[in-house]
Structure 1
Amino acid sequence: MSIVTQTDKRTGITYAYDTTYYWDKEKRQSRSKRICVGKIDPETGDIVPTRGRAKKGSKSASGKPAKTGPKPFVETRHLYYGATYLLNEFANELGLAADLRQCFPETYKQLLSVAFYLILEDNNPLYRFEKWHLTHKHPYGESITSPRSSELFASITDDQVNKLFRLQGRRRVEDEYWAYDSTSISSYSETLAQIQYGKNKEDDQLPQLNLLLVFGEESGIPFYYRKLAGNIPDSKTVKHLLEDLDILGFGKTKFVMDRGFYSESNINGLYRDHIKFLVGTKLSLKFIKKHLDEVYDDIRMFVNFDESINTYGYTVSAQWEYTQERPYKGDVIKDKRRMYIHYYYSIENGADDEQAFDKRIASLCKELSEGKYVESHKKAYDQFFEVKTTPKRGRQVYYKEDAIKEARRYFGYFALITNEKMDAFTALHLYRMKDVVEKAFGNLKERLNMRRLLVSSEKGLDGKIFTEFVALILISHLDHKMKKSDLYKNYTLHQLLDELDVIECFEDANHSLRIGELLNKQAKIYEALGVKVPTSSC
């Protein structure tokens, strides 16, 4: 048994409860029984019995029966503290705790505690928070049952979320590129409106929700997300992204996006709004292939080679055929805008592509020769082969050598377009920095248990995604710091958190917080991450 205190928000009175914890075999979770033993005296901290709990016949100083009751009980607890301390320090360092307090004055501690749980208890469902609370020190300091977490998620409003976007965005927005990308999250739900069948990026045969994220390219931290129906392609989202960021008050921005976001209307929109961009494109686009053919023989020269990445790079200045429809005037503006195309040739990618292509051609030829047609291969048959049948020689399959040479010509090449002047390898470095988003998607699905959505209401879904976003801010900051300090040489992210999670703290009502034994390697982790080593305050 132990004494647990809880403050009534309506009256401000703090009550003390005699609490007994037990394991419910049917529900397979920790439960508790509580009996109120009195209220806490704000001056002395003693437990004063409430009415009906005083011993009969006892007198107080005023001559009235004294409300004596059980003697004050001081609870001492040993709790794991090292990892939650680290995450709490990060929340303060990033201004996340302050911003959450401003947006969610009543529930910010609960949000932080749930975010900490999601990070530290990867793949564990949220209903196990009750058990985790018994062993860990966290900002809220009290248990959050499954019904209470559902209420917490449902209480989160769009206004509060947008306010946090503004506050966090202002802390991140500097002269840097923003990486923008999307992922698909599968769901078994049949009641959520945005769960639709679409192009699943993991070839999952389930309906899905699409989630879009914006990351600071230098900070490696997300500051904006948006969910949308699973059947909407990436190329349709840029216009609304720009509108959202304008509403949120962000000024001129710079975007890094992969080729899934390329479309003429998107590029025109970026030019129209005077936004700097760096976008991947397909080589099959006419203007990309035209300029590549003009400089094809110049690219693979030793002066354009970077041996550190085994890649050739070459930049071409070009003109973009800009158009802008003006419905309010009933006309279309046409103009030319400066664009830079960066071409690259990767030796490894080129060799791999050629080998894979040759194997495919051989396989297609065998199918044709043996008459084992595959309907989905018909386009490739027509492109690369000619089949003739004569009474004397039977079926003969011939290669279309010109078509095969044309296909092989561009293996190993890729291109980026931008409206900001820079050299080819600076552009490539910036583009590859968007891998931070891919890493974040991996953390969301694996570390934060979002590979499958397990909610049944729209409000529950919105709140769950927001809380996952808060957790993602913290885990992305940890990942960024581990890379900068070379900690990945000795630890995975999971191992580092486990290494710190075993550090204990000791708390009771009559003493300041005390920290348990700390190993040298644990202290070095805090120092490498730029976090003050936790010390006892007694």
Structure 2
Amino acid sequence: EKIYISYDSTNKNCQAGDIEMLEYGNAKVDQGSPIFNYSIAYDTRNKEPLFYEAYPGSINDVSQLQFMLDKAKGYGYKKIGFILDRGYFSKRNIEYMDQCGYSFVIMVRGMASLVNELVLKHKGTFEKKRIHNISDYRVYGITVKQKLYATDEKDRYFHIYHSIEKESAERTQLENRIDEMTKFMKRHSNEMREFGAGFERYFELYYDEEHKTFMFPVEKARVIENEIELCGYFCIITSEKMTAKEAIDLYKSRDASEKLFRGDKSYLGNRSLRVYSDESASAKIFIEFIALIIRSKLFTNLKEEMKSLDKRPNFMTVPAAIKELEKIEMVRQLDNVYRLDHAVTAAQKTILKAFGIDVSYVKYKADEISETLKK
């Protein structure tokens, strides 16, 4: 049975040491230091990281994808598909995934030129019809089959979605951006001032030809109205036939890999690489990956156990659960025998249940450790 792998990347800063893969690139958090890129392939079905990559910071996501696909083939993965963010989208990458025999699920924003005509064509045909409601994500969605580009040899499936909440947020953001741009430009009236392409996209800029000074802006109403028309829409493209709900379910499963990156940088303290040699860097990255596998297992089991609980206790997060379990300890008593210091608490029982462990097993392991220490 086919599994879908979520592939995502981030980058990390490093200021010290002579490390070959450190280069200046498009840093997500720019500290003015060189970076390296770090990516993870995550099995969304079994909920575990499969493999990782570390590569120079100047390489962008689009360029790296084909090399990752070759590695996946080398590892022996066959019946798989990839769930990708829009940063990996390119015609060459789509063609290469076809050559490798891999399926794909990829996000494209509603305002992207690739899909905006498709969105406008179907706008008003599904957004209020309950048959198209996907309540889990508070969106409405339909599926349209067509070619991805003119020379495409295969039909692709475009899943078009609309969210009322997303529309409200995006329209508010757009209106605020236009207002801020207008105020900024008016503050520079009668000055010799050039504005960037971002301003020229939404405004006609008028200058005094004689003095070369900026006079006033006029909104490009049609451009702004076109963007308003597309607010709240997004599109997921899949290589295989599936429903709009199946497509968004698959894409949303990549949330787990994004949480892995957040956990790596926060709980595991790996925002930066503090090493001084290539060997140390490779070793640390490998240990980080092993730690992510363990943390992923903890997170998955705790999350599944939470579903069976009436309440959402605050000790069922990974850091809180580890802190709670650390309270289970053995002490050496007067007869030189190690015993559990106290009974297992209700919170600890709930946490242990997520991993199939009960109180009797804890006592059994404590006795086993005690016997080992006697020797």
Q: TM-score w.r.t. structure 1 length?
A: 0.61
Aligned to 1:349: 166
Aligned to 1:289: 116
Q: How many Å separate the matches in 2 of 1:388 and 1:222?
A: 55
Q: How many Å separate the matches in 1 of 2:194 and 2:103?
A: 40
- Shift, 1:273, TM fit: 1.3
The residue correspondences of 1:154-303 to structure 2 (distance < 5 A) are 175-303=2-130
Deviation digits for residues 72-97 of structure 1, max 9, x if unmatched? xxxxxxxxxxxxxxxxxxxxxxxxxx
Q: How many Å separate the matches in 1 of 2:313 and 2:241?
A: 36
Secondary structure, aligned partner of 1:453? coil
Aligned to 1:497: 322
Q: Is the Cα–Cα contact under 8 Å of residues 199 and 231 in structure 1 kept in the other structure?
A: yes
Q: How many Å separate the matches in 2 of 1:289 and 1:222?
A: 34
Q: How many Å separate the matches in 2 of 1:484 and 1:477?
A: 11
- Shift, 1:206, TM fit: 2.3
Q: Gapped runs of 5+ residues in structure 1?
A: 1-173, 323-333
The residue identity in structure 2 corresponding to 1:306 is I
Q: 1:389 to 1:448 in 2, by over 3 A?
A: closer
The residue identity in structure 1 corresponding to 2:134 is D
Deviation digits for residues 196-231 of structure 1, max 9, x if unmatched? 111112344321111110111022211200100111
Name which of 380, 389, 392 aligns with 2:198: 380
Q: How many Å separate the matches in 2 of 1:378 and 1:397?
A: 13
- Shift, 1:513, TM fit: 6.5
Deviation digits for residues 459-483 of structure 1, max 9, x if unmatched? 1111111111111111110001111
Aligned to 2:274: 454
The residue identity in structure 1 corresponding to 2:354 is A
- Shift, 1:452, TM fit: 1.3
Q: How many Å separate the matches in 2 of 1:208 and 1:396?
A: 42
TM-align CA RMSD:
2.7
Deviation digits for residues 129-181 of structure 1, max 9, x if unmatched? xxxxxxxxxxxxxxxxxxxxxxxxxxxxxxxxxxxxxxxxxxxxx63211110
Deviation digits for residues 208-266 of structure 1, max 9, x if unmatched? 11111011102221120010011111111111111112112222211111111111111
- Shift, 1:501, TM fit: 0.3
Q: Is the Cα–Cα contact under 8 Å of residues 282 and 414 in structure 1 kept in the other structure?
A: yes
Q: 1:285 to 1:356 in 2, by over 3 A?
A: closer
Name which of 343, 355, 366 aligns with 1:518: 343
Q: How many Å separate the matches in 1 of 2:57 and 2:169?
A: 33
Identity over aligned pairs, percent = 26
Q: How many Å separate the matches in 1 of 2:323 and 2:41?
A: 29
Q: How many Å separate the matches in 2 of 1:178 and 1:512?
A: 49
Secondary structure, aligned partner of 2:125? helix
- Is 2:134 the partner of 1:306? yes
Q: Is the Cα–Cα contact under 8 Å of residues 320 and 336 in structure 1 kept in the other structure?
A: no
Q: How many Å separate the matches in 2 of 1:225 and 1:311?
A: 33
Deviation digits for residues 393-435 of structure 1, max 9, x if unmatched? x945432211111121111111111111111122112111111
- Is 2:292 the partner of 1:485? no
The residue identity in structure 2 corresponding to 1:370 is R
- Is 2:234 the partner of 1:417? no
- Is 2:262 the partner of 1:445? no
Q: How many Å separate the matches in 1 of 2:142 and 2:193?
A: 40
Secondary structure, aligned partner of 2:16? coil
Further displaced range: 233-242 or 305-314: 305-314
Q: 1:514 to 1:366 in 2, by over 3 A?
A: same
- Shift, 1:272, TM fit: 1.2
Q: 1:179 to 1:376 in 2, by over 3 A?
A: farther
The residue identity in structure 2 corresponding to 1:524 is T
Q: TM-score w.r.t. structure 2 length?
A: 0.85
Secondary structure, aligned partner of 1:198? coil
Q: Is the Cα–Cα contact under 8 Å of residues 167 and 232 in structure 2 kept in the other structure?
A: yes
Query: Which structure has the larger Rg?
Result: 1
Q: How many Å separate the matches in 1 of 2:207 and 2:293?
A: 64
Q: How many Å separate the matches in 2 of 1:352 and 1:335?
A: 35
Secondary structure, aligned partner of 1:517? coil
Q: Is the Cα–Cα contact under 8 Å of residues 321 and 337 in structure 1 kept in the other structure?
A: no
Q: Is the Cα–Cα contact under 8 Å of residues 110 and 231 in structure 2 kept in the other structure?
A: no
Q: 1:375 to 1:338 in 2, by over 3 A?
A: farther
Secondary structure, aligned partner of 2:41? strand
Q: Gapped runs of 5+ residues in structure 2?
A: none
Q: Is the Cα–Cα contact under 8 Å of residues 515 and 534 in structure 1 kept in the other structure?
A: no
Q: How many Å separate the matches in 2 of 1:450 and 1:389?
A: 50
Q: How many Å separate the matches in 2 of 1:375 and 1:229?
A: 38
Q: Is the Cα–Cα contact under 8 Å of residues 219 and 480 in structure 1 kept in the other structure?
A: no
Q: How many Å separate the matches in 2 of 1:201 and 1:374?
A: 34
The residue identity in structure 2 corresponding to 1:336 is E
The residue identity in structure 2 corresponding to 1:526 is L
Secondary structure, aligned partner of 2:38? strand
- Shift, 1:375, TM fit: 7.1
- Shift, 1:340, TM fit: 0.3
Aligned to 1:317: 145
Q: How many Å separate the matches in 2 of 1:320 and 1:244?
A: 26
